[in-house]
Amino acid sequence: MTSWCKAALAALMLVLGVAAAGTPARAADTAPAGTHQLNTAADADVWRAIRQGVQGTSSLPNPRAGVLIQSEGESWRALRNGPIATYGAWALAGILVVLVLFFLFRGRIRLDAPATGRTVQRFNAIERGTHWLTAGSFIVLALTGLNVLYGRWVLLPVIGPEAFAALTGWGKLAHNYLGFAFMAGVLVTFLLWVRHNIPERADLTWFAQAGGLFSKNVHPAAKKFNAGQKVIFWATVLGGAGLSFTGLALLFPFSFGGLQDMQLYQMIHAVIALALAVVIIGHIYIGSIGMEGAFDAMGSGQVEEEWAREHHALWLAEVKGERTDPRQRGGGHGHHAPAE
């Protein structure tokens, strides 16, 4: 081989060596042993398994870290932002429309007979304090919870991201801690008044006459709590119990189940809260502008005697030691005679 051929061959080998050194190594050549590369026909099966929430391995101490995708979260989000949020908004708007129409057509429910100028104690300080503890905490919990569900669409565009973030952050703290005040209020409410809220036959008459809410001079006799108030009592107690359990489950994650259980608890929590909010809005209306003299019961604790006679005749007779005519126990004013 001539000298120029040897030189040309050496130059060619040098060029090929430089080209080989500058070419990136293939992933298959540099991948650690045992690593699966997603470039085969089986990749679809792998991703399908991941999408279905198959448990993998992780170096993190949390065993749940091995699940890359939790598919049920998509279903939870669709239900929360779909039917729950939609029907909840319709229910809240619906009760407001009903109350406005009721006020326009019925007006404020006033006494049918002249006031006597005498009062009778309806609730003592402990009862009123329990009521306002429960009511006040529920109002804050309801507002902060509604912000979590609807705030992104209602408040965020109005007040901006900075104010919304601050409001939501403080609201979360209030929601977490005032939840315990609400639980305590519900428990004491149950202990104070459960004996007065046992359903009885007279409640059917109250319902049949709609409590006299739609008619003047119609006053079905009732004890300390009428049938409508009993509905509110049990809605508060049972709904409050449901909110308390699901709230604790969300406040202490994974203490009452896994991730899917928590998603279920969250949906139950939202549904109960929305339903209870609808009931309480009606209660607030009747207890404030809807009925003359009703607020005094939880304000000063003293109510006008004629108010008590028209709305709670059997209770007033018991307080005053009067004898009730059995023929009047189902309706009317509930005429009384002094006890003998």
252-263 per-position pLDDT tens digit: 988 998 888 999
| 191 against 15, higher pLDDT | 191
Q: Provide the pLDDT for residue 96.
A: 97
Residue 61 has pLDDT above 80, yes or no: no
Residue 13 has pLDDT above 80, yes or no: no
Q: What percent of the chain has pLDDT over 90?
A: 68
Predicted confidence band at 68 (pLDDT cuts at 50, 70, 90)?
confident
| 297 against 4, higher pLDDT | 297
Strands (E), the chain: 119-121, 302-304, 322-324, 336-338
Q: What percent of the chain has pLDDT over 70?
A: 78
Predicted confidence band at 71 (pLDDT cuts at 50, 70, 90)?
confident
Q: What is the mean pLDDT of the chain?
A: 85
* Average pLDDT score over residue span 40-53: 68
How many CB atoms neighbour CB 189 within 10 A? 21
How many CB atoms neighbour CB 107 within 10 A? 9
Q: How far apart are CA 303 and CA 319, in angstroms?
A: 13
How many CB atoms neighbour CB 19 within 10 A? 9
How many CB atoms neighbour CB 25 within 10 A? 8
Task: Return left, alpha or beta for 90; rule: phi > 0 is left, psi -120 to 50 is alpha, else beta.
Answer: alpha
Structure tokens at 270: 């939202």
Per-residue pLDDT reduced to its tens digit, 217-248: 999 999 999 999 999 999 999 999 999 999 99
Per-residue pLDDT reduced to its tens digit, 143-195: 999 999 999 999 999 999 999 999 999 999 999 999 999 999 999 999 999 99
The residue type found at 225 is F
Read off the pTM: 0.79
Q: Lowest mean pLDDT of 21-25, 57-61, 94-98, name the range.
A: 21-25
